[in-house]
C-alpha cells in the first residue's frame, strides 16, 4: 500500500465549476501538506502549503486538512481553462533529518469552455 493515495482522474469539468481533489495518507508522522500544480513539460509549482488541520484559503483555492481522518483536499472555485493541469498532493514528516516529500500520483484536470 502506498503512503499517499490520490485519485488519478482524469477529471473533466466545465468552466466555472467547483473542483474537489483529494488525497489520503497512512503515515501519522506527516506534518506538512502541500498541493502542487504541474503543467505539461514543466516542473511542479507550489499552490498551497499548510501544517495544521483545518482550512486555508488563497484566492480561488482552498486547502483542507483532516489529520484525524488522514485526508486532505484541494478545492478550486470558479475553475478556468488555465487551471487545466495535473495536481499533486505532497506530504512531509520533518524529523531533523532533512526534507523529503512524499507525493500522490497526481490528478489530471481538464477545464472545458
Partner 1 sequence: KAGVTQTPRYLIKTRGQQVTLSCSPISGHRSVSWYQQTPGQGLQFLFEYFSETQRNKGNFPGRFSGRQFSNSRSEMNVSTLELGDSALYLCASSPIGTGNLNGYTFGSGTRLTVV
Residues that bind partner 1 (CB under 8 A): 32, 34, 36, 41-46, 49, 88, 90, 92, 94, 96-106
> Cα separation of 53 and 66, whole Å?
5
> Cα separation of 86 and 46, whole Å?
12
Closer of 42 and 77 to partner 1 (Cβ): 42
What is the number of other CB atoms lying within 10 angstroms of the CB of residue 16?
11
Residue 54 Cβ, how far from partner 1 at the closest point, in Å? 17
CB 27 within 8 A of CB 3: yes
Q: Which of 64, 72, 60 is nearest to 22 (CA)?
A: 72
Residue 31 Cβ, how far from partner 1 at the closest point, in Å? 8
Closer of 29 and 94 to partner 1 (Cβ): 94
What is the number of other CB atoms lying within 10 angstroms of the CB of residue 6?
21
Residue 98 Cβ, how far from partner 1 at the closest point, in Å? 4
Closer of 48 and 79 to partner 1 (Cβ): 48
Residue 25 Cβ, how far from partner 1 at the closest point, in Å? 14
Closer of 15 and 58 to partner 1 (Cβ): 58
Amino acid at each position: 500500500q502506498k503512503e499517499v493515495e490520490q485519485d488519478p482522474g482524469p477529471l473533466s469539468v466545465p468552466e466555472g465549476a467547483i473542483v474537489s481533489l483529494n488525497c489520503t495518507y497512512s503515515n501519522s508522522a506527516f506534518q506538512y501538506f502541500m498541493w502542487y500544480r504541474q503543467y505539461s513539460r514543466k516542473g511542479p509549482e507550489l499552490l498551497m502549503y499548510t501544517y495544521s488541520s483545518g482550512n486555508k484559503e488563497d484566492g480561488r483555492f482552498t486547502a483542507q486538512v483532516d489529520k484525524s481522518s488522514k485526508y486532505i483536499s484541494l478545492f478550486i472555485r470558479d475553475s478556468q481553462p488555465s487551471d487545466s493541469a495535473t495536481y499533486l498532493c505532497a506530504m512531509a514528516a520533518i524529523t531533523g533529518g532533512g526534507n523529503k516529500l512524499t507525493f500522490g500520483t497526481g490528478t489530471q484536470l481538464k477545464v472545458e469552455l
